Amino acid sequence: MKFVGLTYAVFLLVSPALAQQAQQEDVFKLNVDVNLVEVHVNVVDIRDRPVGNLRKENFRLFEDQVQQNITVFKHEDIPVSLGLVIDNSRSIEPRKQRLDSAALSFVRRGNPDDETFIVHFDDTARMARDFTASISELEETLASVKPFGQTAIYDALILALDHMQEAKHTKKTILLITDGVDNVSKHTLDEAIEATKRSRVAVYTVGLLSESGGQKAEDSLIRMAEASGGRAYFPQTAEEAGSVMDRVARDLREQYTLGYFPMNAVLNGAWRSVRVQVVPPPKVTAKLNANYRHGYYGPSK
């Protein structure tokens, strides 16, 4: 098994909060709209193992190379709005039952307050099950379809990203499972990547790719994952895919949340880069790596 990806966490913009500052003994008030930015960060050691027990002082956060004041710090299991985007093309049939079981295991390892929907894709992409907290409903939906047709990955991802606008949690994740290359979508890879960059959703891709998929299939899954702050995995078997999904579930539950109010007040919708630096605790000499989303589109007027 191999995995590819520079980042695998995601930060979220939440609703603007109005801040009022009285000046000159209430002669006038300056109203400032500010966005709280939350960066969800996984910290791993050189063996890619998660690192816990870090504190706020172990992190430095920069936006466009300007250090920001971290006003929110949490290390807890936050509920997630989850989208399962699952390949239903004919080629998936020999592994369907095992992959469905792995996807259900992934959901079971989550927070009890998580909500999950399912998008299936073959010749077309469609919403198979709306948000639910019921494992039995998810199981019923997965078991009710028979693989056929081709592979509309990009259409499925864009459909899932759009549906995330109805999510109740601010932390949002998509798990996309496929065994091939897109060959029938109406949308392009570039359109899927742009939609991902503009979303507040982390996308994890799991590709059980055959030789027919080739480098094109692998590259597309990597690009979609990295654009979101997610990660791309390429297991060789359905059993390895299950292990990958368990790992993603663990990572989602062990993230640090760093929140800040950007010093940049310009509302032009431009791209803003984000960098997180980890300062190891005393007596920790090994390098620690922070994995997170490295930028976002700022607010606009």
Superfamily of domain 81-253: von Willebrand factor, type A domain (3.40.50.410)
Q: Where are the domains of the chain?
A: 2-75+255-297, 81-253
Which position has the token pair 């079971």?
108
- pTM, to two decimals: 0.86
Q: What is the pLDDT of residues 190-222, one digit of tens each?
A: 999 999 999 989 999 999 986 656 788 899 999
Q: What is the pLDDT of residues 280-298, one digit of tens each?
A: 998 888 889 998 888 999 9
In 3D space, the residue among 234, 260, 169, 257 whose CA is nearest the CA of residue 4 turns out to be 234
Number of helical H runs and strand E runs in the chain? 6, 18
Beta bridge partners of 296: 272
- Distance of alpha carbon 60 from alpha carbon 46, whole angstroms: 20
- Confidence band of 1 (pLDDT split at 50, 70, 90): low
